[in-house]
Structure 1
Amino acid sequence: MAQNHTPRPTNLKTWATKDDYVPVLGEERMTQHCQHCALVSSSSHVLGTKAGEQIDATDCVIRMNDAPTTGYEADVGKRTTLRVVGHSSVYRLVRRPDEFMVGGIDDQPIIVFWGPPSKITEDSQGTMYGSIQKICSTYKRALCFTLAPEKMYRFDKLFEWETGRDRFKSNSWLTTGWFTMVIAIEICDNIKVYGMVPPSYCGNQTRSKMLYHYYKPRGSDECVKFLQSQNIQRGNYHRFITEKQVFARWAQHYNITFAHPEW
């Protein structure tokens, strides 16, 4: 975060518009509202928590990208109300759609796809939007949306307002966690986040090695990835720690709590 930066006030409860979410099929509107939400991170901090029953008992359960539930139900639950999917994860959903395009017995799962408009809009020239359409037409029970180009632009500006950094000039890529947290704030009255570490966590020299993704046992160490991405200036990288500094500030305004670890 830029030094001596004063965040620009943005009320995330009111900044959404009816045109922010573009239906992939049909003319459905994004009208989801939940009193209590469980936002389940993809970090290995969720493993061994036995939080699955508590997560599934929440009004709405929010997940990210291709994080699975099968085989991990005791720790992450099995219900999915909303899944936020970045463009880089679309093809993984295509390969294993049965794992991701499901909700609970009473849920009509919502899938929100985000990414560059050149990739995820109906006017895009590549194959990604066709894959999104195929997924959503095969699993008609799910409601599928893409983020409108104007909404994507506003996400970039929000990052600048909150951090003092122009996303493009600072070579910063927003994470799916950034999009998911904002969408959760829009639709949830209360949010409990599972498995997300505080911004200071990776500065603790006595911390244990934790996997970046709970479902990839041979994956990278979470803090190594966070610290490398935070400090690299060339190329485009996620600013995980900067984003979590913003989340910590938002938690004071939007009824957000954190569990496993608690902060």
Structure 2
Amino acid sequence: MKNNTSPRAAVCVVLFFLVTLFIIYSSNSRNEVFHYTSLRVQPHLPTSLKKWGVKTGYLPVSGNKTLDRHCHQCVIVTSSSHLLGSKLGAAIDQSECTIRMNDAPTTGYEADVGNKTTFRVVAHSSIFRVLKRPQEFVNKTLESTLIFWGPPVKMQKSLIKVIQRVSVAFPNMSAFVASPERMKQFDDLFRKETGKDRVTSRSWLSTGWFTMVIAVELCDRVHVYGMVPPNYCTRKPPPHKMPYHYYEPKGADECTTYIHNERSPKGNHHRFITEKRVFAKWASLYNITFSHPVWE
């Protein structure tokens, strides 16, 4: 037995080595096509979001595709538990373009949030949660486009490679990444609209911030479902406690999360309420409406 086993083991080792070299070579070859480098020039910040230029701000993960889709009417379906029991699914699915965020699922929630997804905006921190469920988020509908965002230093290390490998497994996957220049523009926009520097104020921009800007770039009209107004969590009497995400019924309370993030002077936090004040200002400028709840 020893004489038969040793040659077979040697052959297996050699085959494993060759396959490993092939994977490494293939991965490196794909990376040469996709150029994602650190910011080298100061990007221009147009006065209107409509003039940002969506075609140049988002890079294709594979191939030479261009994000050139334009929609007359879009809906943003938030991840808020305010949508539970709303029975809005049918109305949402009738929209021309539907935008969702991160790993908010539709399976099991179709009656309230619909099933159609045209664009899904995904944060760097949610990439693994999205890509590990391709049948739900990647391959469920052929028309869906994934738009990933994240700090360039994190994206170019390993996350880009992960997205590339999934795109190879699913050739129909249409995926784009916000360029370093566009990420800098998002920071500059936050400073322009709030008077606060994102880095020195130790703020993290939320996926909602990126999604709203992308929606304005892509759409003539935007209807947002489930987003609460800026004064919602400070009303008297305080609103009933509700989960932050509709798909996490035992998760943190929405308003507790908003207020903690807004008021925390330490650490890096999303400034949800500050962002919503900016959205309220953009409503009339960019034809944005809000419902469930309605903004006054």
Using structure 2 for the length normalisation, give the TM-score: 0.82
Over the residues paired in the alignment, what is the CA RMSD in angstroms? 1.4
Match of 1:114 among 149, 165, 169: 149
Q: 2 CA distance for matches of 1:140 and 1:81?
A: 17
Which range is displaced more, 173-182 or 209-218? 209-218
Quick check: 1:16 aligned with 2:53? yes
Contact 1:34 1:60 in 2 (8 A): yes
- Aligned position for 1:213: 245
- Aligned position for 1:175: 206
Contact 1:80 1:102 in 2 (8 A): no
Query: Higher relative contact order by CA 8 Å / sep ≥ 6: 1 or 2?
Result: 1
Superposed CA offset, 1:158-216 (max 9, x none): 00000000000100000000000000000101111000000000012331111111001
Which range is displaced more, 205-214 or 156-165? 205-214
Shift of residue 103, structure 1, vs aligned partner: 5.6
| DSSP 3-state at the match of 2:289 | strand
- Aligned position for 1:246: 278
Richer in helix (by share): 2
Quick check: 1:164 aligned with 2:191? no
Shift of residue 9, structure 1, vs aligned partner: 8.4
* One-letter code aligned to 2:277: Q
Match of 1:199 among 230, 237, 241: 230
| DSSP 3-state at the match of 2:244 | coil
Q: 2 CA distance for matches of 1:79 and 1:222?
A: 25
Superposed CA offset, 1:225-254 (max 9, x none): 000000011110000000000000000111
Q: 1 CA distance for matches of 2:92 and 2:240?
A: 25
Match of 2:127 among 77, 86, 90: 90
- Aligned position for 1:72: 109
Match of 2:96 among 59, 68, 79: 59
- Aligned position for 1:185: 216
Matched-pair identity in %? 53
* One-letter code aligned to 1:206: P
Superposed CA offset, 1:90-125 (max 9, x none): 010122111111465xx52110000011222xxx23
Contact 1:109 1:141 in 2 (8 A): no
Can you give the 5+ residue segments of structure 2 that lack an aligned partner in the other structure? 1-44
Quick check: 1:35 aligned with 2:72? yes
Shift of residue 255, structure 1, vs aligned partner: 0.9
| DSSP 3-state at the match of 1:202 | helix
Using structure 1 for the length normalisation, give the TM-score: 0.92
- Say if 1:16 and 1:9 are closer, same or farther in 2 by CA, change over 3 A: closer
Contact 1:173 1:238 in 2 (8 A): yes
| Dislocated runs of 4+, deviation >3 Å | none
| DSSP 3-state at the match of 1:196 | coil
* One-letter code aligned to 2:261: S
* One-letter code aligned to 1:256: I
Kindly name which structure, 1 or 2, has the bigger radius of gyration based on alpha carbons: 2
Aligned residue pairs, count: 250
